[in-house]
A and B are shown apart, each in its own frame.
Chain A
């Protein structure tokens, strides 16, 4: 009958919790993942499995080291989602050790060094992707032309295992550059965009995903659908995707109008290179994004701007990972300065003046 220690505060609670949110994120990613596996065949599936299992393994090892109970932390699905997101941003036919190393870096250095879920300052998946990109540039930029499962050209199961695990070389005929890579090389040789992209960039293909890309960044439509589901379930805030995609589209259109030859239009920018995957699933990672509405809008706009700057003038064709890392670094600063207005106080924190408190004209006697 009696409650031993006094418990204060609300004694009822809204439905849901961290675990349900994480499972919804994983579900929303499923269509894009399935399509990615369909597009790139068995090696993609092997890579996905290797990455996700090693992510869970590293999480378990770190929890054991920290002498923390395994069950609640492992089952909240955060390690699963990190592994999944990392796998989706990797080139589909990359060897198994890329997945393992990436998952290791993400979970150990990206998350548990800070003290586990909620303490990390950078998005683990993006951290791992950047680390891999810089340490293994070759493996991280060998893109593959889509070989849908069970079609004649596609590698069978055994060949798939060989590609992922035995490091069998990827036949040159199958390799191709992503649209962004194509655009950048074209620009560096001063070829106009239209010449260097004709035959490569076809908006419909781009939307459907029939292009060389990372495992999960293929089809823009499926990613968009997953994002809409999460927005409808209120699991991710609407401010970040809107601000990110909005800023990117705005900048792309502005620069395209100024000089169509050097700058690709918004269509290409939005639908290529995992921007949609990042906008809905990675930038909205609650741990590393601001907690207030204004902060999130600024965060999204910052990501969009940095993506555009790095893609247009930077050294790397794809800037989304760097953009998110840099804006993650800015998040504590944004949260420090952008705070909601406290009730009864001005924005600067001083109590309201009497004149400011009777705005409805109800006429208060002095």
Chain B
């Protein structure tokens, strides 16, 4: 069990999908203006990513590998991810229309979120077992959500402070993201051996 936990921690903190591997930056910068939207975006991405990495593993080991079609991996993964995202959008619109209206434009963005495809491909490359790749996907998504929420809170604070006009908005956002990844370097080389 603790081995599974360490995998989660490793995926979430040590090589955090956003701040260390620099994947999924467009929703990270785009949706992080308000804390609650960032949280719901993070949860939606977690839902999609976990499903996608599971589906990816099944696809890889049940279809692509036996038929020797590894070169189709990226294409088929994107197809699956797009389907999962479309399914998530329907679920969200059914569950809460205001949330759907708020997230509106950004839901399809998850399809193009390179973190989702990246993590699915990574877990295939590292030949994880099914449970392992599920854990890796979930861990990375947790890391993504954590950093999204922390970054959203930081930007909400910046929104009410007097940032010089030259830096207000996106520039200060990028600077803070950079400084945040500076902090995350502290987790570099963290291994619980």
Contacts and interface: CB of A to CB of B under 8 A. Distances in A.
Direct interface between A and B, CB < 8 A: yes
Interface of A: 66, 109, 112-116, 118-119, 121-122, 127, 130-131, 134, 306, 309-310, 313-316, 319, 321-323, 325-326, 328-330, 332-333, 335-336
A291 to B, nearest CB: 11
A330 B186 CA distance: 15
Contact of A326 (B157, B158, B186): B186
**Secondary structure call for the B interface:** helix
Contacts of B91: none
Looking at A114, A116, A309, A314, which has the most chain B CB atoms within 10 Å of its CB?
A114
Interface string B93-134: 000000000000000000000000000000000000000000
A114 B185 contact: no
Q: How large is the interface on B (under 10, 10 to 19, 20 to 34, 35 or more residues)?
A: 20 to 34
A127 B186 contact: no
A64 to B, nearest CB: 13
Given A329-B150, A330-B150, A336-B156, A115 B163 contact: yes
B186 A325 contact: yes
Contact of B183 (A113, A130, A313): A130
B54 to A, nearest CB: 30
Interface of B: 35, 149-150, 153-154, 156-158, 161-164, 167, 172, 175-176, 179-180, 182-193
Given A113-B172, A114-B172, A315 B189 contact: yes
Given A130-B182, A322-B185, A332 B153 contact: yes
Contacts of A313: 190-193
A315 B157 contact: no
Contact of B164 (A66, A109, A322): A66
B150 A333 contact: yes
Given A115-B161, A121-B158, A336-B35, A127 B179 contact: yes
Nearest to B162: A115
Contacts of A321: 186
Contacts of A314: 186-190
Contact of A315 (B172, B183, B188): B188
A329 B183 contact: yes
Contacts of A127: 179, 182
A307 B157 CA distance: 26
